A = this chain, B = another copy of it.
Amino acid sequence: MPFLLGIDGGGTGCRAVLADAAGRILGQGRSGPANIVTDLEGARGSILAAAGQAGAEAGVEVSAVHAVLGLAGANLPDYARRLAALLPFARSRIVSDAVIALKGALGEADGVVATIGTGSVFAGQSSGRVSQIGGWGFQLGDEASGAWLGRALLARALHAADGLVETSPLLAALSGEMGGPEAIVDFARSASPADFGRHAPRLFDTDDAAATAILAQADAWIARCIDRLAAGPAAQVTFLGGLGPLFAARLAPRYGARLRPARGSALDGALLLARQEGQP
Contact = CB atoms under 8 A, between A and B. Distances in A.
Nearest to A76: B182
A177 interface: no
Contact of A158 (B136, B158, B164): B136
A16 interface: no
Contacts of A233: none
A109 interface: no
A228 interface: yes
Given A158-B141, A228-B163, A185 B133 contact: no
A272 B228 CA distance: 58
Interface in A129-174: 132-134, 136-137, 139-141, 151, 154-155, 158, 162-164
Interface string A77-118: 110000000000000000000000000000000000000000
15 contacts: A37-B189, A75-B182, A76-B185, A77-B182, A78-B186, A133-B162, A133-B163, A136-B158, A137-B185, A139-B188, A139-B189, A139-B191, A140-B155, A140-B158, A141-B155
